[in-house]
Structure 1
Amino acid sequence: MPVANRAREGFLHGREPAESSRVNAVVAGVLLIVATVASLISGRFLAPVTDSSSLGDAAAQQGQVATGVLLVFIAALAAPGIAVALYPVLRRFGEGLSLGAVAFRVMEGVFYALGVMVLLSLSTLSGAFVDAGSPPDQHFTTLSQTMLAQYHWLVDVGLLFAFSLGGLLYYLVFYRSRLIPRWLSAWGIGGVMLLMIAAVLLIFGVITPLSPGQIVLAAPIGVQEMVLAVWLIVKGFDRSVLARQ
């Protein structure tokens, strides 16, 4: 069969050339690093809003909070981008699971954005509190505590579930297809299951956000995704598996 006809047939059947799959792997790996680093670093910048005991601290550290918000928006864009970058390759091995992974990671991005909008509102409330002379009025305190609770429900429960379900779906495709080593896929499946357990424990109040318990349960998937990112950038997908499709 002429080369042109083979290429045309591969295109009609949705078969990506090896070079294209390599690009998808590198993009997904880079986005994994960007999303993880941006999310972790943002926590330090957002501390005047999320961890402060004084409502006025956010107003005093507006530049720092703004940097944290920018980092969260970067994570919100990078997280869905991971599943989108993987989709053209993974759909050949499980289109339904791959599409579901995209949907849940888009939801993850939405939870990121909703959470940061709550923090921006809380920052505005902090400014109003300072402008009012930091009155000993419990209404400010009650409102700030309510908004902070909303943030934690969005990010520490909703976002964790969306991330975990999205990750679980594409790790299942990885495991079935052997596009990456099965030990790495199994590690991912186990890691997201532990993260879902953390979300359930948060709902029932067994652990608290950013407590040692949550960190221990989140650590395996955090490390795994960095290993996966390096693997995708350096090794890419198994070419022998791609060749059989």
Structure 2
Amino acid sequence: MTELTRAGRWIGVAILAGYVLDIASNFFLQPMIRVGEGPMGLFAGAAAQPGLIGIIVLMGMVSGVVSIAVAGLVCQHSYGRAFAWLAFLLLGLRAASFGMGGGEMASYQLFRSLGTSMLSAPDGALAQLAEPVWALVTQQRDALHYPHLLLGGTGAFVLYVILFRSRWIPRWLAVAGLAATASQMIGVFTGVLGAEVSFYFLAPLALVQLVAGLWLTVRGFDDKTAAA
């Protein structure tokens, strides 16, 4: 097994790890925060489940570190090749995404601390302002969430451009990745504009990431067809 093939397998494992972390956090753990209707349902749930909030934040940070590690490996094996500049662009995008994701994760800690304060003084001024405070924190989170997703989609698009040009994976899979990331960015952009994001725009990328992660975990990068 060559070093390039081994690196591809590690990247496949990392893609699958990030996939599992993101799916578990977004679709299973985050909905568990709310324990009732209205703003207080969210604040009370966050205050009562500090462990859950901590796990969500930790998973978000680990997912970001995994993405940076993937970009670092791609940079290492792209050095001296014609597409090396794309690899360093990918690393920059992943670093920026990690920083933005940290800001987004901080909003969950803010929900927890505000919820704790509201529950400790249910008749206080802060509890009376639960709805506008909820709207403010939610808007702050969304202001980071959708650009964060767009940045993540842009990074994935650049990664698949690299994989297409390098021929480290079959070109049909790289093309599928390019199409899926374009679909994801279109879907997320509707959220930036204030519309509801359709799951149908996001589903193709979830499927392609799963296939690409499994492919790379089993086969690694193909060094026989690799481009210079």
User: If the length of structure 2 is used for normalisation, what is the TM-score?
Assistant: 0.88
Work out the CA distance in 2 between the residues paired with 1:169 and 1:70.
26
Q: Deviations over 1:91-138 (max 9, x none)?
A: 424011111111111222222211111111111101111111265844
Q: CA deviation at 1:62?
A: 2.0
Unpaired segments ≥5 residues, structure 1: 1-17
Structure showing greater radius of gyration is: 1
Question: Which one of the candidate residues 34, 39, 45 is aligned to 2:22?
Answer: 39
Corresponding residue of 2:137: 147
Does structure 1 retain, via aligned residues, the 8 Å contact 2:86–2:162?
yes
Corresponding position: 1:57 with 2:41: no
Residues 57-206 of structure 1: matches in 2 within 5 Å?
57-91=45-79, 92-133=81-122, 135=124, 137-155=127-145, 157-206=146-195
| Number of residues of Structure 1 aligned to a counterpart in Structure 2 | 221
Q: Which residue does 2:13 correspond to in 1?
A: 30
State yes or no: 1:19 paired with 2:2: yes
Counterpart code for 2:13: V
Q: CA RMSD in A?
A: 2.1
Displacement after TM superposition at 1:48 (Å)? 4.8
| 2:129 counterpart SS class | helix
Q: Give the 3 Å change call, closer, same or farther, for CA 134–26 of structure 1 in structure 2.
A: farther
Alpha carbons of structure 1 residues 20 and 231: separation in structure 2 relative to 1, 3 Å: same
Residues 90, 159 of structure 2: 8 Å contact kept: yes
Alignment partners' CA distance in 2, 1:169 and 1:134? 52
For 2:220, the equivalent position in structure 1 comes to: 236
Q: Cα offset for 1:72?
A: 1.5
Q: Which runs of 5+ in 2 are unaligned?
A: none
Q: TM-score scaled to structure 1, two decimals? A: 0.82
- SS of aligned partner of 2:122: coil
Cα shift readout 1:180-200 (whole Å, capped 9, x = no counterpart): 111100011011111111121
Per chain length, whose mean CA-contact separation is higher, i.e. which structure has more relative contact order (CA < 8 Å, sep 6+)? 2
Contact 2:33/2:49, CA 8 A, preserved across alignment: no
Task: Between 124-133 and 34-43, report the one with greater CA deviation.
Answer: 34-43
Asked whether the equivalents of residues 192 and 221 of structure 1 are also in contact (C-alpha less than 8 Å), the reply is yes
